[in-house]
Amino acid sequence: MSGRRGLARFTLGLATLSCATLASLTILGNGPVSLLNRPADTWAAPTQYVERPDNPLPPRNRVRMQPNQFDSITQRKALTGTTIGNILIQKDHLDMLVGDRVVWSAAYRSVPGFDGRLSMADLATLVTRSPHPDWLRQTSTGVYQLQVGLVQYPGTRLEVTAPEVKELRLVSQPYVYLAGVGASVLFQDVKVTSWLPASNTPDGNAFNHRPYISYDAGGRLDISGSEFSYLGTDASKAYGVSWGVGTTGEAARSVFHHNLFGAYTGNAVGVVFRNNVFRDNARYGLDPHTNSSGLIVVDNEAYGNNTHGIIFSKNVNHSIVEGNRSHDNGANGIMMDEKSDFNIIRNNDVSGNRGDGIVLQGSSHNVVADNRISGNEVGIRVNANPLGFTDGSRVNNNQLRANRVGIQIYGGARDTVTQSNQINDSAQSAIVFADPGMSQSDSVTGAHKAVVIDRAATVRGLSTSKVGRGIVVSKGARATVEA
């Protein structure tokens, strides 16, 4: 049965056939099997990921900030009795607060040419006239240091841009952040980092409560040609650089490194991430989260992150992940998690991750197409779990090479179809159906087993070469094989 002539359809039910007989059966193939060409038993994924001494993986230690970064606008009473300092950008004036008390104000009419947009340089000039000039000051030409919270009122616009600003240093202590409620901000050609004045260095300790950027409530956060580093606290929307509820914007040609999370979205809408680098972050590279939708993640690179390179989690839907490189991360390359549905993951390069390449976990109706995936544990993993169903996954036209397992379907996944995938040099199996599904016109070269069926599957038009076994059907499983 190594050729296809005369083969129309077989339906195998293992209740009547011995496991040993089926274990040795090659149902479809392209000639005699050469066991010398299968990968060695000692094969290991050629991952290059190494956790770096300057980038340890901190345990999750979620804290609830009370008061939080938005309370100076949304519920100022939460600041009563505290000595927390905030600079509040209002529409026509600046307030400086200690706790819930305004201790100084300045109108923008003194700002030359003010047109509704406030620059960081203009803001610093105003602060120098206040009783607290050290809250925001220029320490050298183009270098500004912020040591309190800076919060924008709805409808305001702040610009942190070159050449006036080269670098913004956020002093690494509690309640230092750049935040906005229904406001907009632009970072262009600048560097933003945490700062330890005593050592004159960024705060490299991800266990600390470091400063962060956080915009919420329908605002806009735009970033271009900039660098964000050594930021982030394990608290809501404080992980590094965050787009919050209803917030949109774009990050382009920028680098996010050594943050707790490189960048994060929560309930954001239509954010574009294009041509960025997410590297060496303490947990995730890029983490679109909770109810974010309509995201475009295109032509980015994610590597050296301690867990996942790119992860969508908790209802991140109707988005595109295309043309990215996610490699050498501590866990998975690209992951759809917990009801992240109706997304397209296409034309990405995913390689050398310590975990799996592309993962659809508890997420439905996603398309994984035209990707190049190599040197991971599992190339493409499709599985349900208690947090979500995984229904209607389509895995098409991918090139998989030198993964331990090429494609794996399990955990209660339903209606998974793999089609026209090229799966080469898998150390163990090329395709594993632990749940029902269909393989159509897939091609396997070099594997211990081409297709393993543990429950039920249809295999149509499979081609194999240099495999130890063709289609292996477990006892009690059911396989339908068609030419």
> How confident is the model over 434-476, as pLDDT tens digits?
999 999 999 999 999 999 999 999 999 999 999 999 999 999 9
Asked whether residue 308 carries a pLDDT value surpassing 90, the answer given is yes
Rounded CA separation 243/219 (Å): 8
Per-residue confidence band for 42, with pLDDT thresholds at 50, 70 and 90: low
- Check residue 43 and give its pLDDT: 52
Rounded CA separation 470/25 (Å): 7
Asked whether residue 38 carries a pLDDT value surpassing 80, the answer given is no
Asked whether residue 26 carries a pLDDT value surpassing 60, the answer given is no
- Check residue 53 and give its pLDDT: 74
Asked whether residue 24 carries a pLDDT value surpassing 60, the answer given is no
Which of residues 9 and 54 earns the better pLDDT score? 54
- Check residue 11 and give its pLDDT: 55
Per-residue confidence band for 342, with pLDDT thresholds at 50, 70 and 90: very high
Cα atoms in the 13 Å half-sphere on the side-chain side of 262: 31
- Mean pLDDT value of segment 190-202: 98
Asked whether residue 12 carries a pLDDT value surpassing 70, the answer given is no
Per-residue confidence band for 107, with pLDDT thresholds at 50, 70 and 90: very high
Rounded CA separation 452/412 (Å): 16
- Check residue 10 and give its pLDDT: 54
Backbone phi, then psi, for 15, in 5-degree steps? -65, -25
Rounded CA separation 430/3 (Å): 20
Per-residue confidence band for 20, with pLDDT thresholds at 50, 70 and 90: very low
- Check residue 54 and give its pLDDT: 76
Asked whether residue 370 carries a pLDDT value surpassing 70, the answer given is yes
Per-residue confidence band for 1, with pLDDT thresholds at 50, 70 and 90: very low
Ranges 49-58, 302-311, 404-413: which has the least confidence: 49-58
In this predicted model, what pLDDT tens digit does every residue of 211-227 receive, in sequence order?
999 999 999 999 999 99
- Mean pLDDT value of segment 202-217: 96
In this predicted model, what pLDDT tens digit does every residue of 221-255 receive, in sequence order?
999 999 999 999 988 889 999 999 999 999 999 99
Both tokens assigned to 378? 């599992």
Report the alpha-carbon angle 233-235-239, nearest 5. Answer: 50
- Check residue 78 and give its pLDDT: 95
In this predicted model, what pLDDT tens digit does every residue of 56-83 receive, in sequence order?
888 777 777 789 999 999 999 999 999 9
- Check residue 29 and give its pLDDT: 38
- Check residue 44 and give its pLDDT: 53
Domain locations in the chain?
1-51+361-385+392-483, 61-250
- Check residue 341 and give its pLDDT: 98
Q: How many angstroms separate the Cα of 332 from the Cα of each of 30, 287, 340, 381, 382?
A: 33, 12, 16, 10, 13
Query: pTM of the full predicted structure?
Result: 0.91
Asked whether residue 398 carries a pLDDT value surpassing 50, the answer given is yes
- Check residue 62 and give its pLDDT: 75
